[in-house]
Amino acid sequence: MDFTGPERTGHSKSIFLLKASKSKGFLDHTLTLGRVSNLPTVWSNCLAASAINLCAHDWVRAIPDWGDLNVLDPLLLLPLLLGASLLYMGGCTLNDAFDQKFDAQYNPERPIPSGAISPTRVWTLGSAELGLGAWMLIDLAQCEPLWIGALVLGIILYDALHKKWSGGVMLMGGCRLLLWAGAATFGVSETIYPLTWIWGATLAFYVVGISLFARGEAKAKEEAPKLSIVFLFGPALVALAALIHWNNLDPIRVFLVNLVGLLIAWIAFDAILQMRGGKKGAIGSGVSRLLAGICVTDALVVSFCMPMLIAPLLCLNPLALWIQKRFAAT
C-alpha cells in the first residue's frame, strides 16, 4: 500500500531487488504482501479502542473512569488481535492483486511482477485472510457484525479505487475508523460512546494526514496541503483540548497525557522536517515513522482511561520500526 506514489529507482537497484524478491520463500512473500511491519499499529488500535470504550460514558463532559486491565478478557482479546491482523494482511495482500499492472511498471520488485508468486495465489491468499479475519472478529471476539462488515467493504473499495481516485485516502482513514469501531464493541458491548468516536476520528484524520503530506512532498514544486499538518498534530491538539475540558482530571493522568502528547507531537514534527529535507528516501522513511507513531497516538488515548496500557503500547512503536527494517511499511 503505497502512501507516497511511485518513486522511480535506478535500473541496477531494480534488478537487484528483482533478484532478491525471487529468492524469497512463500512465507516471506506472505509477510511482505501483508505489510506485517504495520501490525503493531493494528494491535494498538484494538487495545486503545477497547480500553476507551470500556471507560467512557454516555456524554463527553464526564471524565473517563480509571480502568483496570482485568476488564480486558484475554479469551476475547486474543481472537480480536489475531482477527484484526488477518483482516489487515488480507486487505494489503489484495491491494497488491489490484495493483499488479501498476506495480509491473513502477515497482517490479513486488512479489507479483517479479514472478515470485502468481496473481491467482495472491487473490486466493488475500481473500482467505480477509474472510478468516472477519469470522474471528465476529464469532470469536464477538465484535459487532455491522462494523466488521463495513470494514471489509471499506477495505475492498480502497484496494479497488485508491489508484483511480484521489479521495482514496479518505477510504484509508475510514478503514482505520471502522477497525476502531469494531474493536470497541468486542465482547458483549454494542454501544460505542461519543468519546470513542472522537478519538477514532482523530486517528482516521492522522492517517489521512500521513498520505496527504507525503503525496504533496513527493510532487515536484508542490508543498503538502497545510491541512495535512493539522491532521498530523491532531492527536496532540485533541488531547490538549481534553485537558482544558476536564480541568479537574487527577494529576497523574494530567502528567501522563502531557508526556505522551509531547512525544507524538515530536514524532510528527521530526518526520515533517525529515520529509522536507529533500534527501533521497526521506519521504518513505518519514512515512514509516509516522505510521509507527500510530502506536504512540493510541498510548495517548489510554493515558486518559487506562494508564497501565501506556508502556505496552509505547513498546509497540519501536517494534514496528524494527520490523520495518525487514519488511517495508508501504
Q: How far is CA 115 from the centre of its chain?
A: 28
Mean pLDDT score, 129-148? 96
Among 324, 308, 232, 320, CA closest to 70: 308
Answer yes or no: are the C-beta atoms of 206 and 238 closer than 8 Å.
no
**Res 303: pLDDT:** 96
Predicted confidence (pLDDT) per residue in 283-318, tens digit: 888 899 999 999 999 999 999 999 999 999 999 999
User: Residue 18 pLDDT more than 70?
Assistant: no
pLDDT of residue 243: 94
Cα–Cα distance between 91 and 128 in angstroms, integer?
10
- At 168 the pLDDT is 86
**How many domains are there within the chain?**
1
Residue 245, SS3 per DSSP: helix
Q: Does some domain include residue 230? A: yes
Q: Answer yes or no: is pLDDT of 34 > 60.
A: yes
Domain assignment present for residue 329? The answer is no
Is 4 among the domain residues? no
Question: Residue 17 pLDDT > 70, yes or no?
Answer: no
What pLDDT does 222 receive?
Answer: 52
In a domain, 5, yes or no: no
In this structure, of 76-90, 135-149, 209-223, the range with the lowest mean pLDDT score is 209-223
- Give the number of C-alpha atoms closer than 13 A to the C-alpha of residue 313, restricted to the C-beta side: 29
Q: Is 309 left (phi over 0), alpha (psi -120 to 50) or beta?
A: alpha
Residue 3 lies in a domain: no
Q: CB–CB of 260/300 below 8 Å?
A: yes
For residue 301, tell me if it sits in a domain: yes
Greatest alpha-carbon span in the chain: 61
Q: Round the average pLDDT of the chain to a whole number and report it.
A: 88
Q: Which grid cell sits at 197? A: 468516536
Q: Which residues form the domain of 120?
A: 11-324
**CB–CB of 51/72 below 8 Å?**
yes
Question: For residue 70, what pLDDT is reported?
Answer: 82
- Does 256 reside within a domain? yes
| 178, 151 Cβ separation under 8 angstroms | yes
| pLDDT range class, residue 24, cuts 50, 70, 90 | low
How is residue 59 annotated by DSSP? S
pLDDT at 163 over 70: yes
Instruction: Indicate the pTM of the whole model.
Output: 0.89
The answer to whether residue 2 sits within a structural domain is: no
- Tens-place pLDDT, residues 59-83: 888 889 898 888 788 889 999 999 9
Q: Which residues of 75-110 are buried (b: 16+ CB within 10 A; e: fewer)?
A: ebbebbbbbbbbbbbbbbbbbbbbbbeebeebbbbb
Euclidean distance between CA atoms 322 and 330, whole angstroms: 15
